[in-house]
Amino acid sequence: MGLQAEKTTDSKKLNQLKLVTKEKLTQKSFKSNIMDYLVEKAFFLFGMMAIFILAMILFFLLREGSGAIREVGLMEFLTGTRWYPSSPQGAGYGALPFIIGSFMVTLGALAIAIPWGIFTAIFIAEIAPKRVREFLKPVIEILAIFPSVVLGFIALVILSPIIANIFNLSNGLTALTASVILSVMALPTIISIAEDSLRSVPKDYREAAYALGASKWETIKIIVVPAAKSGIVAGCMLGFGRAVGETMTVLMAAGNAIDMPLREFFGVVVPDFLTSVRTLTANIAIEGSDVAWGSLHYSALFVTALILFTITFVVNLVADILISKQRRKLQND
């Protein structure tokens, strides 16, 4: 009887323990679900806020620039070569020199930054020892926090005299000067995204290549880099977006001439990187503080801002699509 009573007591305690544990688990699960729901809604709210802010920026640009678009015409901004908004003898609102200047300094910067950045990313992701990698990554990230005015001052004081001496120019503030300093600014973006893409390539790819007798360089060249191609391209496009939107550095380094930065070379019109240029961002910064509020000139500056917004939006959108494609590809593999 005593043994049976003891067993009955132990059974009751066990049932009570199970009940308490089940209640605690249910309660914890309920709280966890509530937290998950609140966090999900918070992320959704912040995402919608970002979209709303972007839409409001676009609406503001369209509203302020609509007057110039109606009076001058969008094609005049995109194809005109004269920018003289305050001229009494016939105002000109051609933004083509600024568009060409923006693409010149940006593409020139990418021509320097892309090979430099990709090879650096390959070295960090595939070749560098752990200690070297841990040293290089923070150094590269520090480049991204350098104030643009500091880099612009370096270009103005140090880089421009060097370029003037090399090419025998009277003025070293040229598109080439701006391209060189912008390439330094675009490097952290390109290196970081390219390095992440290379490291996200599955280890099985490398081991399969080594099993087939491929060397380390052959594996990097034939297997790793092609597998990370979408991410690398996206990094380059984000570097483009970083460079095309830069203001202070270009304002200090490019010279800000309004003329068309083109020249004939054996009968072919080509960009002249040894001449001063003005970009879309620099033009807004130079003229935005002195323009009469509500004037046609004021509205025209918003049209140039709208052109710049469209360029950067399209580039970043394509880069985001490429990054998503890279992630889906690696997940499927």
| Confidence band of 235 (pLDDT split at 50, 70, 90) | confident
Query: Which residue stretches of the chain are H helix?
Result: 2-72, 74-79, 96-122, 130-144, 148-154, 160-166, 175-199, 203-211, 216-218, 225-227, 229-244, 248-253, 280-287, 296-332
Tell me the pLDDT band of 167, cut-offs 50, 70 and 90: very high
Cα gap 226→112, rounded to integer Å: 21
Work out the average pLDDT over 77-98: 85
pLDDT at 37: 79
User: Which of 14-23, 73-82, 120-129, 290-299 is predicted with the least confidence, judged by mean pLDDT?
Assistant: 14-23
Question: What pLDDT is attached to residue 115?
Answer: 94
Cα–Cα dist 316/321, whole Å = 9
Handedness of CA 186, 189, 193, 194 (dihedral sign): positive
Q: How far apart are CA 71 and CA 315, in angstroms?
A: 29
Best CA proximity match to 120, nearest among 106, 105, 132: 132
Q: Look at 23-32, 113-122, 217-226, 295-304 and tell me which has the smallest mean pLDDT.
A: 23-32
Helix (H, G, I), strand (E, B) or coil at 322: helix
Residue 142 has pLDDT above 70, yes or no: yes
Binned at pLDDT 50, 70 and 90, residue 200 comes out as confident
> What would the mean pLDDT of 214-219 be, rounded to a whole number?
88
Q: Which amino acid is at 330?
A: L
Do residues 223 and 126 make contact, with C-beta atoms less than 8 angstroms apart?
Answer: no
Tell me the mean pLDDT in the region 64-92: 86
CA 211 remoteness from chain centre: 38
Q: Give the pairing type, strands 92-93 and 262-265.
A: unpaired
Q: Looking at residue 3, what is its pLDDT?
A: 44
Residue 33 has pLDDT above 70, yes or no: yes
pLDDT value for 145 = 83
With 80 as the cut, is the pLDDT of residue 268 above it?
A: yes
Please give the pLDDT value at position 190: 92
Q: Provide the residue ranges of all domains of the chain, joining segments of one domain with +.
A: 12-72, 95-332
Q: Is 271 exposed, middle or buried (0-12, 13-18, 19+ CB in 10 A)?
A: buried
Q: Looking at residue 229, what is its pLDDT?
A: 86
Report the topology of domain 95-332.
MetI-like fold (1.10.3720)
Tens of pLDDT, residue by residue over 285-306, are 998 888 888 888 999 999 999 9
Does 231 score more than 90 pLDDT? no
**Contact call for residues 251 and 285 (beta carbons, < 8 A):** yes
| DSSP string of 125-177, one letter each residue | IIIS-HHHHHHHHHHHHHHHTS-HHHHHHHIIIIIHHHHHHHTT-S---SHHH
pLDDT at 319 over 80: no
